[in-house]
Amino acid sequence: MSAIETVRDRYRTFDDQRYAPLVKGVGLFGLLAALPTIIEIDVAGMELAALLSLKVLILTVIYAYTAQAWNIMSGYTGQFSFGHAAFFGIGAYATQALVVDAAVNPWIGMLVGGVLAGAYGLIIGALSFRFKLQGHYFALATLAFAELLRFVVTNMSELRGANGYFKAFPRDYGAEYGLVAFQFQNDLPYYYLIVGFLLVVTLVSWLIKNSWVGLYFFAIREDERAAASVGVPSFRYKLIGVAVSAFFTALGGAYWSMYFNTIRPDTVFALFKNVELLLPAVVGGPGTLLGPIVGSFIVTPVSEIARTTFSDINGLDRIIYGAFLVAIVIYSPRGVVSWPSQARALWERVRGDEEVSE
């Protein structure tokens, strides 16, 4: 018992240090960087890699990344977006259209996509917030804007309609396999690249959270009227949240389009993509920094493994997504990352009762 308490006290002292976030960040991303090696470690003739392939790891980190981007808007400001596929798809399409049709380097296409998505986010936000859409109504509006794009792109021959784009070879846009070309000949560099993306968006999220912007976001989430009464310009700050979130989500779409061979309206703009992009944040803990990452490591591997193992049961992965969503919303709306502190509170309550009864 006292040993546990010593450890806890040491942790609290550590947690108060200025360098604590840095140490935690380095630890977390060090672990992520080591994962491809860890899954290949042979334990009693079993490798974790048999279950958890590098491909699943990449998918997991992609969704950790998009959930982190979604979180900046929806977790922090409380404006629940159900239409982030719009931004994801814009990023994917801007990148591929520029690469394939104009031989522009994908990194430039990615930034163009980010800016376009940010602009689209501002339009959605300005319209919705001007007309005071909130809660479910706002979520439905974002979904409508995402679906709108899917229909438009499907019917635009300039963007190759329903067929979508097939990724170009690096030489088609004057590059060779490598970081500059945004294409690699095996999966490992892709994995490190998306971990790098995740690091950037997590850093941005941390900076926001630890500045007045983050505090204004949270104040808007908690009570917009109370926030306005002490000088928070909620309309402007909600727009900032949407734009930043849309920009980073589009970068995720660009990565997706450079990792997989094809993109189509019914993949990157898919109705279900909206759920996949946000679910890790909701499961892990909306509004937290760690939640989207932890959430993705719970949700994505389970559904991917289920999908590949029971491939004859069509849509099993979606059932699993649905089950996660329902369970977490009903039983733990603050997400998985809140479990340790809840357990601690429970533990202290139980012990408190014991001490009283003694």
Partner 1 sequence: MSADETNAQSVDDADADIDRDGEQILSVEGVGKRFSGLQALDDVDMTVNRGEIIGLIGPNGAGKTTLFNCISGAFPPTSGTVRLDGEVISGLPAHKIARAGLARTFQITRPLEELTVVENAMVGAHIHTRRRGEAREIAMETLEFVGLADKAEEEAGELTVGAQKRLELARAVSTRPEILLLDEIMAGLTPSESNQMLDLFRQLRERGTSLLIIEHDMKAIMNISDYVKVLDQGKGIAFGAPETVVEDDRVIEAYIGGFDVDA
Distance CA 179, CA 290 (A): 28
Interface with partner 1 includes 219 (CB under 8 A)? yes
Interface with partner 1 includes 105 (CB under 8 A)? no
Q: Please tell me whether residue 43 adopts helix, strand or coil conformation.
A: strand
Interface with partner 1 includes 289 (CB under 8 A)? no
CB of residue 210 vs partner 1: minimum separation in angstroms? 7
Considering only residues 85, 90, 117, 232, which one is a binding residue for partner 1 as defined by CB under 8 A? 232
CB of residue 334 vs partner 1: minimum separation in angstroms? 9
| Cβ-based nearer residue to partner 1, 215 or 320 | 215
Interface with partner 1 includes 233 (CB under 8 A)? yes
Interface with partner 1 includes 225 (CB under 8 A)? yes
Positive or negative: CA dihedral 195, 199, 200, 205? positive
262 forms beta bridges with 166
Of 37-45, 169-177, 207-215, 273-281, the window that binds partner 1 (rule: CB under 8 A) is: 207-215
Considering only residues 14, 131, 166, 212, which one is a binding residue for partner 1 as defined by CB under 8 A? 212
42 forms beta bridges with 47
| Cβ-based nearer residue to partner 1, 115 or 215 | 215
Distance CA 227, CA 231 (A): 7
Distance CA 283, CA 300 (A): 11
CB of residue 69 vs partner 1: minimum separation in angstroms? 21
46 forms beta bridges with 43
- Inter-axis angle of helices 271-284 and 135-154, nearest 10: 140
Of 26-34, 133-141, 221-229, 257-265, the window that binds partner 1 (rule: CB under 8 A) is: 221-229
What are the tokens at 22?
A: 């840095």
| Cβ-based nearer residue to partner 1, 102 or 226 | 226
Q: How far is CA 269 from the centre of its chain?
A: 16
| Cβ-based nearer residue to partner 1, 117 or 244 | 244
Interface with partner 1 includes 11 (CB under 8 A)? no
Positive or negative: CA dihedral 9, 14, 15, 18? positive
Closest CA to 118 of 247, 239, 205, 238: 247
**What is the contact surface with partner 1 in residues (CB under 8 A)?**
210-212, 215-216, 218-219, 221-223, 225-234, 287
